[in-house]
Structure formats: structure tokens, C-alpha cells
């Protein structure tokens, strides 16, 4: 239920081996930096605007990828083919973006994986997170990665069992083809399975089962869950 293969179709993801030996889907977050460095990929094939800042030598930008004005990209980072990094994006290193990904205007990304065709296109924060194939974050969606609590290590309670992730920084996992609406917030350690819809302005936490819709009730007091 918590393996990478439960959330993602990995056959077409070029960097799928980062999930090798991962007992739990979040274990990949501990490996990103070392994984990218070991790849020793430091070529730029895409079109990079002259005002963009590329800092560090361990950066790969794939073919037909466009990096817009005033983008900041820090190493180590891999951005695959046919991607868009739009104006003002801030990529803080330890990042991998698969083919067809979009890192949008004023979007900040840190220690995260974007599988193929995953989109964070407008004013998003993606920290210590994994976006599955074909996922989309609505404008202003934030994947919060740090608890407001004396106890910072993130532990998950799923079906009566407690899982200690070993992580102080852990945003969210979004399974393939899940989407969030504008200005939604996912609390640290949120696990969203495949084919889920999170409606605008929702606050989400915990484990979300496959095929779930989350939306605010009429009085805007809490989120209502139902299966598609």
C-alpha cells in the first residue's frame, strides 16, 4: 500500500531506479541529492534565457526544454526533455523533473521529484515532495514540508499503524493523475493516492485513498471526502 509502485507507473520514467530498494514511497526523498550527483549529468541542451541564473556544475537541462527569464536553478538538478521552467521559478537543488514537466511562474521547488508530465505551473511551493505522472497543482497550491510542533520528525498514522518516516522535512506524495485546486494546502507528510481530486481552498492531511474527491463543505468548516 505504501510502495512506490502503489503510486506511480514507473516504466516510462527515466530515473525510476531512484525508487530501487525503497520500502516506502517517501524513502526516495532521502536519496535525491546523492542520486543526481552520481549521475554526473552536467549538460545543457535546452533553450535558456540569458537572464536565468544557473548555479553549480551538476545541472542537466534536456532537449527542447525552455528555461524562461529570471529563473534560478541550483545544482544538483536534472530537468528532462520537453519541460518548461517558467519566468521567476526558483529551483533550490536536489531536484529531478521528468519529461514534459512544468515548473511554473514564481514556483519554488526543493528536494523533490517530478515524474513525467507533472505540473506545478503557478505560484506553487513543492518542498520534499514527489509528484506522480500527469499530476497538476492548481495556482497557489502549497505542499508544506515542516511541522509547527515541538516534535519535528514526521510520523504517519495509517490504518492504525504508525510509520516513522525518519524525516524532519517531508511535504507530500501525489500519486499518478491526482490534482489539486487553487490555493489548496497539503500538510507535512500528506500521502495522496492515484486519481484523487483536491478542490480549491482545501486543507488536506493524512492518507488519501485512491479515487477520492476532497472539497469544502458548504459552511467551509471542514473537508468532505467521497470516492469517485
Query: DSSP string spanning 26-68?
Result: GGGGGTHHHHHHHHT---B-SEE-TT-EEESS-EEE-TT-EE-
Tens digits of residue pLDDT in 139-196: 999 999 999 888 889 999 999 999 999 999 999 999 999 999 999 999 999 999 999 9
Residue 226 pLDDT > 60, yes or no?
no
Tens digits of residue pLDDT in 23-61: 999 999 999 999 999 999 999 999 999 999 999 999 999
pLDDT of residue 59: 97
Residue 212 pLDDT > 70, yes or no?
yes
Query: Which of the two residues, 140 and 224, has the higher pLDDT score?
Result: 140
How far is Cα 214 from Cα 216, in angstroms, rounded to an integer? 7
How far is Cα 29 from Cα 10, in angstroms, rounded to an integer? 16
Domain-located, residue 32: yes
Average pLDDT of the residues of the chain: 95
Domain-located, residue 223: no
Residue 225 pLDDT > 90, yes or no?
no
The alpha carbon of 228 is separated from its chain's Cα centroid by a whole number of angstroms, namely 23
Domain-located, residue 163: yes
Of 124, 129, 125, 127, give the one whose Cα is nearest residue 139.
Answer: 124
Using DSSP, state whether 179 is helix, strand or coil: strand
Domain-located, residue 127: yes
CATH code at position 101: 2.160.10.10
Of 41, 218, 187, 210, give the one whose Cα is nearest residue 125.
Answer: 187
How far is Cα 228 from Cα 222, in angstroms, rounded to an integer? 19
Query: Residue 170 belongs to what domain range?
Result: 4-176+188-193
How far is Cα 138 from Cα 67, in angstroms, rounded to an integer? 21
**Region 50-77: what's the mean pLDDT?**
97
Residue 183 DSSP symbol: T
Domain-located, residue 225: no
Give 3-state DSSP helix, strand, coil % of the chain, rounded to 5.
10, 35, 55
Domain-located, residue 226: no
Residue 93 pLDDT > 80, yes or no?
yes
pLDDT of residue 150: 82
All three cell numbers of 20, joined, read: 530501487
Domain-located, residue 12: yes
Return the biggest CA–CA distance within the chain. Answer: 53
Residue 168 DSSP symbol: S
The number of distinct structural domains making up the chain is 1
All three cell numbers of 89, joined, read: 521559478
Of 41, 38, 122, 39, give the one whose Cα is nearest residue 84.
Answer: 122
Domain-located, residue 208: no
Amino acid at each position: 500500500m505504501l510502495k512506490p509502485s502503489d503510486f506511480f507507473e514507473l516504466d516510462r520514467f527515466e530515473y525510476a531506479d531512484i525508487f530501487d530498494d525503497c520500502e516506502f514511497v517517501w524513502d526516495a526523498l532521502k536519496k535525491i541529492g546523492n542520486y543526481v550527483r552520481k549521475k554526473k549529468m552536467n549538460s545543457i541542451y535546452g533553450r535558456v534565457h540569458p537572464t536565468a541564473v544557473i548555479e553549480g556544475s551538476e545541472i542537466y537541462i534536456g532537449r527542447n526544454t525552455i528555461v524562461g527569464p529570471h529563473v534560478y536553478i541550483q545544482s544538483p538538478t536534472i530537468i528532462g526533455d520537453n519541460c518548461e521552467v517558467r519566468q521567476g521559478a526558483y529551483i533550490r537543488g536536489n531536484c529531478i523533473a521528468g519529461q514534459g514537466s512544468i515548473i511554473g511562474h514564481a514556483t519554488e521547488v526543493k528536494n523533490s521529484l517530478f515524474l513525467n508530465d507533472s505540473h506545478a505551473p503557478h505560484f506553487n511551493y513543492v518542498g520534499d515532495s514527489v509528484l506522480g505522472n500527469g499530476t497538476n497543482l492548481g495556482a497557489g497550491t502549497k505542499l508544506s514540508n515542516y511541522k509547527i510542533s515541538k516534535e519535528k520528525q514526521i510520523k504517519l498514522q495509517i490504518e492504525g499503524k504508525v510509520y516513522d518516516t525518519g524525516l524532519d522535512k517531508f511535504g507530500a506524495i501525489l500519486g499518478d493523475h491526482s490534482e489539486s485546486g487553487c490555493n489548496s494546502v497539503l500538510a507535512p507528510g500528506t500521502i495522496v493516492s492515484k486519481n484523487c481530486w483536491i478542490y480549491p481552498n482545501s486543507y488536506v492531511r493524512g492518507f488519501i485513498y485512491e479515487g477520492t474527491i476532497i472539497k469544502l463543505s458548504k459552511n467551509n468548516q471542514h473537508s468532505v471526502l467521497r470516492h469517485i
